[in-house]
Amino acid sequence: MLQGRYGNDYLNRALGILTVFFAVLGMFFKYTSPVRPILSVISALFAGLMLFRMLSRDFNARRLENEKFLSWWMPFRTKLKSFFQKGPRVRKARVTPTFAERRKYKYFICPQCAQRLRVPRGKGKLRVTCTRCANKFEIKS
Ligand SMILES: [Zn+2]
C-alpha cells in the first residue's frame, strides 16, 4: 500500500515524538483550560505533517527537508548531550572546602552563572573573571 510513497525517515520520527509530546502535555491541563485545545491543535498539526510526508510521492523534497532538519538537529543534539554529561562532573567537583581552605581563600558565587569561585584572602579588592561564563566583577578578598 505504501508503494511509491516516501514512508518514514528521521524527521518523521521526530514529528511523531512531537505529536505524542504535545498530546501528553495537554493532559496536564484542566479540561476547562484554554491551553488544552491549543496543544491538541499543535499535536494534530505535527501528526498531519508526518502523515503528509509519509504519503508524499515527492521523494526529493522530503529528502531535502530531512537533510535540512538533520543539519540543524545533529549539532544541537551533540551540544545537548555534552551539556547533560557535564552536569554531574561539575557537581562532583563541588566538594565542600576544608577549614584550612576557607581560611586561605574566600569562596563566593558568580552573580551571573552561580559558578563557585575562590580568591586568596587579604588581597583587598580584586577584579575577578568567572571561569565559567567570563563575567567580570569586583570582590573584596
Ligand atoms: Zn559566571
Q: What is the pLDDT of residues 27-53, one digit of tens each?
A: 999 989 999 999 999 999 999 999 999
Residues 103-127: pLDDT tens digits?
Answer: 999 998 888 898 889 999 999 999 9
Residues 70 and 20 in one domain: yes
Q: Using the mean position of ligand 1's atoms as its centre, give its distance from the Cα of residue 17 in Å.
A: 35
Q: Using the mean position of ligand 1's atoms as its centre, give its distance from the Cα of residue 90 in Å.
A: 13
Q: Using the mean position of ligand 1's atoms as its centre, give its distance from the Cα of residue 125 in Å.
A: 18
Q: Using the mean position of ligand 1's atoms as its centre, give its distance from the Cα of residue 129 in Å.
A: 8
Residues 44 and 25 in one domain: yes
pTM to 2 decimals?
Answer: 0.56
Give domain status of residue 94, yes or no: no
Give domain status of residue 3, yes or no: no
Crossing angle of helices 59-93 and 10-26, rounded to 10°: 60
**Quick check: 92 pLDDT over 60?**
no
Q: Using the mean position of ligand 1's atoms as its centre, give its distance from the Cα of residue 78 in Å.
A: 23
C-alpha to C-alpha distance for 39 and 26, rounded to whole angstroms: 6
Helices (H), 27-98: 35-55, 59-93
User: Which domain, by its residues, includes 30?
Assistant: 10-89
Q: What is the pLDDT of residue 91?
A: 54
Q: Using the mean position of ligand 1's atoms as its centre, give its distance from the Cα of residue 75 in Å.
A: 24
